[in-house]
Amino acid sequence: MTSQDIVNRAINLADLKNSQFIEIEDKRNSLNESFKDIYNKMTMSDDDFFVREVPLTITSAMRGVGPYEYFVPLPDDFYQLRYADYLGPQGWSPMKKWNLGTKDDLLVEPEYRFRGDTLWVLMGTSGTGIPLSIRIGYYTPVPDITLAGDIYTYLSNLTPAQSNLVSTPFYISYPNGAAGSATHSALYVYNSNSIVVDSLALHTQTTIFADTGALISNLIYYKGYLYYLRSGMIFKASLDLTQPTPATITPTAIITTGNLANFSINDNLIYGSTVSAGGHTWSWNTDGTGQSSISSVAIDDISFLGQLGNRKRCYILRSTSHIWIGDSVDTGIVASHLVSDNVYLYYVGTYKNVHRLTVTNLDTLPTVVKDDTLFYDVNYLGNADIPPEISSDDVRLSLIAEEDLDLHVISAVINYDFSTINGAYNIIPEIMSYRAAIDFKMKQGADPGQLQLRLSELYKRFENVVKRDEYKIERVQNYYKSFNSGIYS
C-alpha cells in the first residue's frame, strides 16, 4: 500500500470523492502527522522495528581534554538511542550511562553520555575495560511521507463525449512571461486529426495544427520541437511554448519509410519500429538522418534507466507485450505503454492501472524489486518532457482517467511505501486513512464523530498488537545483586 492508496481510502471514508475542497498540502500534512504519532507509539513500546545498528570507530582525533574521554560523532540520521555496546576481551557488553558525579573519576569500563551531536565516551582505564569497538542501535527520524503532487486537470471545457476524442496526451512546463511563471501545458490530439495546446495558467485551448487526411498519433515534444506519427511517417515542427499564445505549426516529414507503428525519443535519437509484430526497429537523429538498425524485431516505447555511462535500454517486445530491461531481462510484465524518468519505469498494465517499477542492479543483472500501483482506471498514459531544470523526483505523467474522462497531469509521484511495515502492522494504513478522513471532515465543517469512534477502536487494537514479542516480559535486573552480598540474591 502507498500513501496515495491511504488518501484514496480517506476520501471515500469522508465521502468527498468528487470534492475539490481538500488541497494537496492538507493530504500531506495529515499523513505525516498521523504517521509521527504511530512512529512514536512504536518506539515507546520497546519495539525494534525501526532500529538501525552501526559500528562507531574511535580515533585519536576524537579525544577530549581528559586523557580517557572521547567525543564520537553520531550518524547523520540519528534520532534516539536504543542501546550502546562496547567490544572488550570477553565480547560485546552493554555500555552504562555515567552520571555527572563520576565525570572526573577513573572508570573501569567505558560509559557514555550525550553532548551535542556526539556520544561523550569515558574510556575504561583497566586493560579489560578499553573497548576495541563501539556499536549503537538507534531510531532514525520519522520518515517523511510524500504524495502525488499538484494535479493539473485539463479538458475542463470539453463534454465527456468530446473528452473521449482526446488521445496521445503530452505534458510540458516551460517559462511563460505572460503567465508570470511556468506555463503548465498539455498537448494532445483531438478527434485524431487536430493538435491542441491546452494552457492551464492562461486558460486557453489553441489548435495549432489540423489535418483532414490521415490520423495523427504518438505526440512527443522534445527540446523545442513537436513530433508526431502520420501514415507511418514521422513529422517534425518547431513549437515555441514560451509565448503567450502558441502559433500554428508547419510540420515537415523527416522520416518517410511509411510503415512505422510508433516511436519514442531519448538521448537525441528517435527510435521507431515497423508495423508488423516481427518487424524491425531503427534509430535516427532528431532531424531524420543517420538511420541505424537497433533490433531485428519490433520493440515499442523504448526508454532508458540509469545515468550516462550506465544506461539500460527498456522497451515492450511487441510479440509478447512483455517489458524488457537491458536487452537481457524479460520481466514477464504485460504492458500497453511504457515511459521512464531515468530512475523509475512507468507502465499501463492489463487492468488499465499505472504502475511504477523500481529496478536495481543495473550494472549487473537488472532486477525488479517493487511494482507499485499509482493510479487506477487509466485510458491513456502519455509521455512527459523533463527539462534539465526539473529533477527526476518531480517528473510529471500525463494520463486520461476513465472515471471522469479528464486529462490529468500528476507531478512528484514518489510515494512512501508501507509494504515493509504491513508485514508487522497492517493496521497502520487503516489508522492513517481514518485520521485523514477526520481531518478532511473537520476542514469541511462536518461532524467526524463516527469516524472518531472507529479510530479510537483502531488505536486500542494497535496498542495490543504493537508488542509483537510476547515470549518473555522484560525485567530490570536487581542492581544490588551485582554486589553478591547475599541479602538481595
Domain ranges of the chain: 3-47+418-465, 51-139
> Residue holding cell 465543517?
445
Q: Containing H/E element for 238?
A: strand 233-238
One pLDDT digit (tens) per residue for the chain, 489 residues: 778 788 888 989 998 876 667 777 788 889 889 999 988 888 887 778 888 999 988 887 888 877 678 899 999 889 999 999 988 778 888 988 888 777 667 777 888 998 888 998 887 655 444 556 889 999 988 887 877 665 667 777 777 788 778 888 877 766 554 444 556 778 889 999 999 988 766 677 889 999 877 899 988 888 889 999 999 999 999 988 777 678 899 999 999 988 899 899 888 899 999 886 567 999 999 999 999 999 999 999 998 887 656 788 999 999 999 999 988 899 999 999 898 877 788 898 988 888 888 898 888 889 998 888 777 777 777 665 554 443 444 455 666 655 555 566 555 455 566 666 665 678 889 999 999 999 999 988 899 999 999 999 999 888 887 766 665 555 545 444 444 444 433
pLDDT of res. 87: 84
Q: Containing H/E element for 404?
A: none
| Spatial CB neighbours of 35, under 8 Å, sequence gap ≥ 6 | 142, 143, 145, 428, 432
- Answer for the pair 280, 262: CB distance below 8 angstroms, yes or no: no
Distance (Å, rounded) from C-alpha 470 to C-alpha 210?
71
Backbone angles phi, psi at 126, to 5 degrees: -80, 160
63 secondary structure, DSSP code: B
Backbone angles phi, psi at 222, to 5 degrees: -145, 115
pLDDT of res. 396: 59
pLDDT of res. 131: 54
Q: For strands 378-384 and 407-411, give the pairing.
A: unpaired
Q: Containing H/E element for 457?
A: helix 449-465
Distance (Å, rounded) from C-alpha 83 to C-alpha 78?
12
Distance (Å, rounded) from C-alpha 483 to C-alpha 201?
77
C-alpha cell at 454: 472507529
SS3 463: helix
C-alpha cell at 295: 533490433
Answer whether 0.75 is exceeded by the pTM: no
pLDDT of res. 485: 42
- Answer for the pair 480, 487: CB distance below 8 angstroms, yes or no: yes
> Residue holding cell 463516527?
450
Distances (CA, A) of 246 to 166, 188, 198, 394: 19, 14, 10, 25
